[in-house]
């Protein structure tokens, strides 16, 4: 059931709500000053929230919603991929170190964000009228 694609399309609204929650939580943590200000992270968390909103409201049922999701998703995924690649670049040069607080490590978070954004775009494009 966990690895069935139909499970995710059937529960798209709940996944959209979860994405909105992740975005709000990430913004809250930054605005409280618990993490450093990162423009890459800001783009990723905003795109995740907007895609979640599109899933939750059903905005992706119209072709314009699907197109908007693809544009936003492409932008967010490119930003996440660039941030993630910087980690691979550090690994290749032998200078890579995980953040002291592993839960806010940019290498791990950008990889998760890239995966989430691509998955959310896929779910939005699967919405039907």
Contact 65, 56 (CB under 8 A): no
- Which of 62-66, 68-72, 82-86, 96-100 is least confident? 96-100
Distance CA 71, CA 73 (A): 5
**pTM exceeds 0.85, yes or no:** yes
User: Domain ranges in the chain?
Assistant: 5-126
Provide the pLDDT confidence category of residue 83 given band limits of 50, 70 and 90.
very high
Instruction: Spell out the residues 6+ positions from residue 100 whose beta carbon is closer than 8 angstroms to its own.
Output: none
Contact 39, 106 (CB under 8 A): no
Tokens describing residue 91: 């690994």
Distance CA 107, CA 72 (A): 21
In this structure, the dihedral spanned by the alpha carbons of residues 14, 119, 75 and 95, taken in order and rounded to 10 degrees, is 110
The predicted structure's pLDDT at residue 93? 93
**Average pLDDT score, the chain:** 93
Does residue 6 register a pLDDT over 90? no
List helix spans (H) across the chain. Answer: 5-10, 12-31, 39-57, 63-93, 106-126
> How does pLDDT run across 51-64, given as a tens digit for each residue?
999 999 999 999 99
C-alpha neighbours within 13 Å on the C-beta side of residue 80: 22
The predicted structure's pLDDT at residue 79? 98
Tokens describing residue 26: 């990430």
> How does pLDDT run across 95-108, given as a tens digit for each residue?
988 888 888 889 99
């Amino acid at each position: 059931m966990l690895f069935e694609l139909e499970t995710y399309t059937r529960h798209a609204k709940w996944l959209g709500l979860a994405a909105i929650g992740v975005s709000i939580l990430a913004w809250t943590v930054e605005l409280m000053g618990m993490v450093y200000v990162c423009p890459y992270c800001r783009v990723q968390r905003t795109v995740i929230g907007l895609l979640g909103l599109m899933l939750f409201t059903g905005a992706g049922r119209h072709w314009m919603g699907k197109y908007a999701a693809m544009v936003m998703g492409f932008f967010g995924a490119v930003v996440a991929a660039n941030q993630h690649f910087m980690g691979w670049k550090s690994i290749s040069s032998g200078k890579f170190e995980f953040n002291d607080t592993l839960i806010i490590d940019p290498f791990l978070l950008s990889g998760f964000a890239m995966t989430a954004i691509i998955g959310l775009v896929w779910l939005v494009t699967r919405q039907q009228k």
